[in-house]
């Protein structure tokens, strides 16, 4: 399996850094974003390290897409947001903050005024934990 020893997401996959895990299968992992744009903000990644959409193999892209759909459905069921954005960024110009292919599942509420480049603002770990448990229960 391809990994990068300096990648925070590879360290999460390896269990070296803890996460609020939502879902895992043979090739993907989903967990809560600890710098959430909105409550319930989740990430889906391939377990293998691929920098961006340009290089991720098609089969892993497809596996991530299947997991994204599961997580989006669980977020909708668990949190009842007004909507959900599925966002994927590539490169600094698109505000890709971690160079490991990943997809954001972003619950939205009407009037939240969330901008595409939402910045990195640490979230409340206890609220993130509670939210992760609520979403996992909906899987």
Domains in the chain, please, with CATH?
8-138 (3.30.428.10)
Task: Quote the mean pLDDT of the chain.
Answer: 95
pLDDT of 41 higher than 90: yes
Q: Strand, coil or helix: what is 138? A: helix
pTM (2 d.p.): 0.89
Q: pLDDT digit string (tens) for 106-116?
A: 999 999 999 87
Q: Tell me the per-residue pLDDT of 74-86, one tens digit each, with 9 for 90 and over.
A: 999 999 999 999 9
Report pLDDT for 117: 75
pLDDT of the residue at 47: 98
Strand, helix or coil for residue 79: helix
Helix (H, G, I), strand (E, B) or coil at 31: strand
Closest C-alpha to 38, from 126, 133, 104, 134 = 104
- Residue 12's pLDDT is 98
Write the pLDDT tens digit of every residue in 56-75. Answer: 999 999 999 999 999 999 99
Contact between 9 and 100 (Cβ < 8 Å) = yes
Q: Is 115 helix (H, G, I), strand (E, B) or coil?
A: coil
Give, rounded to a whole angstrom, the gap between the first and last alpha carbons of the chain.
27
Asked about 104 being catalytic, the answer comes back as no
Q: What is the pLDDT of residues 16-27, one digit of tens each?
A: 999 999 999 999
Of the residues 41, 49, 100, 102, only one is catalytic, namely 102
């Amino acid at each position: 399996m391809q990994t990068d020893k300096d990648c925070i997401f590879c360290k999460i996959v390896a269990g070296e850094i803890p996460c609020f895990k939502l879902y895992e299968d043979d090739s993907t992992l989903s967990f809560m974003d600890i710098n959430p744009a909105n409550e319930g903000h989740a990430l889906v990644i391939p377990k293998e390290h691929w920098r961006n959409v340009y290089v991720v193999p098609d089969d892993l892209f497809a596996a991530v897409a299947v997991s994204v759909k599961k997580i989006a459905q669980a977020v909708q069921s668990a949190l009842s947001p007004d909507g959900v954005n599925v966002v994927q960024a590539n490169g600094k110009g698109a505000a890709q903050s971690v160079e490991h292919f990943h997809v954001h599942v972003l619950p939205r509420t009407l009037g939240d005024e969330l901008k595409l480049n939402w910045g990195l603002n640490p979230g409340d770990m206890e609220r993130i934990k509670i939210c992760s448990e609520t979403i996992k229960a909906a899987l």
